[in-house]
Structure 1
Amino acid sequence: LAMTTYQSLSGRNGPFQCQAFVTVSQSFDVKVLMRDILLQITQPVNQPSSPSTGAGKGPMEGLLKGMETWNVVQLARILRQQLDNKRYLIVLDDIWSMNAWEGIRFSLPDSNNGSRIVVTTRIRAVAHTCCFHEYDRAYEIKPLTDCESRDLFFKRIFGSSICPEHLEDISAKILGKCGGTPLSIVSIAGLLASKPVQSKDLWEKIYSSLGSEIETNPSLDRLKKILELSYNDLPYHLKTCFLYLSIYPEDHNIRRKTILRRWIAERFVTGKRGLSVFEVAESYFDEFINRSIIQPVTTSFTGKVKTFRVHDVMLEIIVSKSIEDNFITLVGEQN
């Protein structure tokens, strides 16, 4: 939602002179955050860089030369100078602690000219800490309504909001397990859409595999259960490729071409009759997209995914699975 809002305000005729979208996450480095914001705000507003992927050479290249060696005080000073008296939009996505907010907020000046700072967090106390002006507001995202949940679920599977009559009852039961969480709904729908036949028996089996206790679990535990089911349903050859994504840090933007080449280099992919090894790797990647277990970040003008992310809850699951299967060894924090 934050990304959609950010992108809708981008462009030559947008209301802001400069803008940036950065992901904070649990393991944050305030210097990295400041550098990322600086790189993005120095791009022309009608050609914004991809959030959290860095930027190309901009008009302020000379000023930012040597930025990698700057300390926090230097970065904060330059950042304030670049934002001062400008109308800017900064999105700080997925803040987990008050320390993260306190570490960055003094670098964002208030020139009383309509600038906006949007913070997303799953922790209510952090949201209220970020509201230090009387006109700041904390918005708690509500679960989807039953009607919205059905629309999202059926459109993902059938391409329309109409459900076959024989699947209506079981779909209502499955949606009850999802609790109005969009990621849960899309994940289950992606799993069902991957099946060649949409039978009531198959849907009943998937419903039963979620367990009767899931509806009484907290929303995060419920989401984990559903995402774990999506992982367990993968064929063996796809599981190996998917587990490989556990080597990347949380909220990292992964390039599609890079991961395809890595799968091939690790010999997770072999050629098939009539298809090159790279084409097979692409078909594996497309299957992950179709199942909605990875999240596209940027796409080409033809609609092909260029970069993507693994949701942090799904990443937690596959890191655990990778360690359990001795697929990877985790050294220190995953950052």
Structure 2
Amino acid sequence: MNVAIVGGTGYGAVELLRFLHNHPYVEVKKVISHSNSGTKLAEVYPHLVNVVDIEMAELDVHTLAEEVDLVFFATPSNVSKRYIPDLVDKGVRCIDLSGDFRLRDGKKYVEYYGEEMAPQSYIDKAVYGLSEINKEAIKQAMIIANPGCYPTATTLGLIPVLEKGLVNPNSIIVDAKTGVSGAGRKLSLNVHFSEMNENFKAYKVGVHKHIPEIEQMLSERAEQAIQVIFTPHIVPMTRGIMSTMYVDMKDVYSTEELIQLYQEYYQTHPFVRIRKEGALPATKEVYGSNYCDIGLYADERTGKLIIVSVIDNLVKGASGQAIQNMNIMCGWEETTGLHQLPIYP
């Protein structure tokens, strides 16, 4: 199958190339970049010299629709919504790694993204691509709204106990951390070396654009409106998301009981790994891979459940999950092309 990547100079695009390079059923026919049209991709990313020989091009929807079967949009927000409707109308499936098709509520989109949402008819066609949860809907989708990195780690960690009704849905506190690659490749004072090195800071408290995405998904699974307290932090590491969640249990449950629940819930999902009692995951243990590792601690003294969920923000939090969704859409084994051991140390 022929695919294209739009937004070719970002970290998400390069991660797509890393995994698709050895995918047995896919060939990357085009990489689109308006700012670097006519430039070889290896000139922007020298680690691709003599490996990927692709010259980046401008985006022409009509030409692209004739050449490829599926398009990945690894663009900033408020870009893909301009092009995906035309591509879908021409029969091309699209997987959007930005936030343009994730939210259902137009007012929320304007509030958190600062622009008008995509046309409602295309929002209605989009499937939220949390692979482990929406697998059946993903199979038939023409538009996949690939989840954000924080929402992936957070919702996978919370959904099992929310669905079972074991916790108070209005008690959720999310304390999350990300590596600096989550800010993208664009220069920014916030992630300048001398600003970030040996530093650790909270940012966008109460206004982060992933808040409505997390609340939307959790509300759908719990079948009631849910609000969360979400505090993101940036830490001086390149990759990784750690989402630590605190939620009140409705009854007394042991850590062992809850681990068994999670193991049963995710037993058919190869990329979610549940840790044994007393073993909490670290970001380094999923580095460069499509795994989400989850650890649990039921604090019987306070009645709170503590959930620790880790992913690589560029893989399970972006490009890896996008490829997992592509595999599901195409009827292939969902692990195809993603059999990468985490990089350690």
Task: Report if TM-score (shorter chain) is over 0.5.
Answer: no
Q: Which has the higher contact order (CA 8 A, sep 6+)?
A: 2
More strand per residue = 2
TM-score by length of 1: 0.30
More helix per residue = 1
Give the number of the structure whose alpha-carbon radius of gyration is greater.
Answer: 1
